[in-house]
Amino acid sequence: MAEDYKGSRILLVEDEETLAVGLEYNLTEEGYLVEWAKNGREAIDFFKSGRFDLIILDIMLPYVNGFEIAEMVRKSDPQIPILMLTAKTESSDKVKGLEKGADDYLTKPFHLQELLLRVNGMLKRKSWYKSSSEKQPVFKFGDNEINFETLNCRHGEEEIRLTPQEAMLLKYLVERNGKIVSRKELLENVWHLNPDIETRTVDIFIVRLRKYFESDPSNPVYFKSIRGAGYMFEEKQ
Amino acid sequence: MRGKHSLFYHILIFVIAQLVWLLLLGIWIYWYVSNYIVFEKVGEEVSPQLVYDVQNALPFILGLILLIGLSFTTSLIFRHLNVQLRITELYDNFIGNVTHELKSPLSSIQLYLETLKQRDVPQEKRKEFIDMMMKDADRLQSLINSILEISAQEKKKLLQDYRVHKAEVVVRELIEESCEKFRVEKENYRIISDAACEIVASKDALKVVFDNLVDNAVKYSTKQAKIVVSLICNSKKVTIIFSDLGIGVAAKEQKKIFNKFYRIYNKEIPNVKGTGLGLYRVKEIIKAHDGKITVLSEGEGKGTTFKLELPAYSAMSKRQLKKFLQTENLRGV
């Protein structure tokens, strides 16, 4: 399953020993190289001392919580995918996690197969994005300028830094300029998820893109909702 | 956040209610005074010899009492509402904590079962996984017990088996068991005892007490937990002093930590897991033993000392002997 991404380095941040041992075993069996951090402080030390391709992050951690870690990681590495794995199921926690820079969110208890698929999907997206953004690193629309390599953007005078997931969604929409894209399609192709699981995730990300790039987010010009169909990015040249 | 808003709305409603009462009181006085003058004038014209004073003062006073009574009742309702609000908030926290505590071992068990089902796991790993699952099952069991044992019936069951114990023997045995359970190394705990004395106690219940104290010492220490337990006997009581070098308890929180669902927050150690029931259970158990528990801490970062006082067996009254051992005879046990 993880054929193409064998050898990818994963930082597993989980304070529950029994869960971490099982996760480490399964990820290693898939061909990934896993480092296990038992608490928030260790996670930061590991992150600073090594290069990782993906982080699996719990929220309720001793010393430094998962939200703070995600925020810190995002400041120094905008591209690394972060999967939050937590027992917190409230939608406010999920929104907070995604806002702090997580790209995906899985609640405990979870199915092993689903976790492995998500990890594989995130690594796949990372690699698709890398090759795709090399072709057209900078994109401009209206008074917005997006650098898909550094994830640094500009809206008028304002500087913004996108998370990898935001950038991937934006890239997907931009490549389909003027075409309607359904939530299902976005979930399948940007998140690589089963669309029956989470459709709200897409909405949360679209709201964030509007907040960054629309002058009036409540009356969007570029990121339009198409009732009953999905979303459409439209930039009239 | 929601709690703060609710409190604000309740205060606002309370203030508005008080203003309405004051307004009513004003209208009442105004109505009374203006009508009194009219009645007096009419009365004087119709029948000058009528006297109104006593009869007219009565409804005025009754009206005042009624309004003051209503105002007082509003204050009471407001007070109860606030208490209710605080309980709801604590209960919400409790549900959140318990859900988290239940889900973690459950997801781990699920992970191992799925792994064993989907993969060809070598024999030695299989054994390791089964041990991990058993550990999680134990955790689930002790969590469920701690929730269930709050009910009076369960508490009764736990506190049924009172026996006379040598204080030092039972305390040493239970502390050693708890320290092993919560992985406190032998060099990190010490038990000091100066005298032989006897206590009447339920060993199972005392185990819950020491499990909780040791677990807290471990959870609320930034480094390796260090524990010192001293046993002091006198003719009337046995005092067990349980000290750790953990983060301590701020003075304002010292009374609250024995409350149901109450949990302390310390920025040094955020996200400590638990249900907020541990010390509440400890207090209830010690109380059921006719004992007392207090907490001492010089403040945050300076360690915590719990002082447990239990009546000495030799000094127990006939009533206590009957209650615990179903006998009034000191030597008959």
Residues of chain B above pLDDT 90, percent: 31
Give the whole-angstrom CA distance, residue B129 versus residue A22: 8
**Tokens for A237?**
């040249």
Task: Give the closest of A18, A65, A111 to B114, CB-based.
Answer: A111
Encode pLDDT of B238-270 as tens digits.
Answer: 999 999 988 888 888 888 898 877 888 777 776
Q: What is the complex's ipTM, to 2 decimals? A: 0.74
Give the whole-angstrom CA distance, residue A152 versus residue A155: 10
With an 8 Å Cβ cutoff, are A25 and B271 in contact?
no
CA distances to A17, A107, B135 from B142, in Å: 18, 23, 11
Dihedral (C-alpha) B10, B16, B22, B26: value to the nearest 10 degrees? -160
- CA dihedral for A215, A216, A219, A224, sign (positive or negative): positive
> What is the pLDDT, as a whole number, of residue B145?
77
Give the whole-angstrom CA distance, residue B97 versus residue A76: 32
Task: Give the closest of A22, A88, A108 to B112, CB-based.
Answer: A22
- Distance from B5 to chain A by nearest Cα, in Å? 17
Encode pLDDT of B266-294 as tens digits.
Answer: 777 766 777 788 898 899 889 989 999 99
B229, B192 Cβ separation under 8 angstroms? yes
Residues in A lying within 8 Å of B, measured between beta carbons: 16, 18-19, 21-23, 25-26, 29, 60-65, 87-89, 108-113
Encode pLDDT of B25-69 as tens digits.
Answer: 888 788 878 877 777 777 777 766 555 555 567 777 887 888 788
- Inter-chain Cβ pairs, chain A and chain B, closer than 8 A: 68
Encode pLDDT of A188-211 as tens digits.
Answer: 888 766 666 566 778 888 999 999
What's the pTM? Answer: 0.63
Read off the pLDDT of each residue in A86-104 and give the average, rounded to a whole number.
81
B297, B256 Cβ separation under 8 angstroms? no
Task: Give the closest of A22, A29, A62 to B108, CB-based.
Answer: A22
With an 8 Å Cβ cutoff, are A65 and B270 in contact?
yes
Name the band, by pLDDT with cuts 50, 70 and 90, for residue A180. Answer: very high
Question: Domains in chain A, start-ordered, CATH in brackets?
Answer: 3-129 (3.40.50.2300), 136-233 (1.10.10.10)
Is the model's pLDDT at B111 over the cut of 90?
A: yes
Residue B38: how many CB atoms within 10 A of its CB? 9
With an 8 Å Cβ cutoff, are A108 and B135 in contact?
no
Query: Which DSSP symbol is given to A50?
Result: S
End-to-end CA distance of chain A: 42
> What is the pLDDT, as a whole number, of residue B330?
47
What order do you get walking across the sheet with A9-13 strand by strand?
A33-37, A9-13, A54-57, A82-86, A104-107
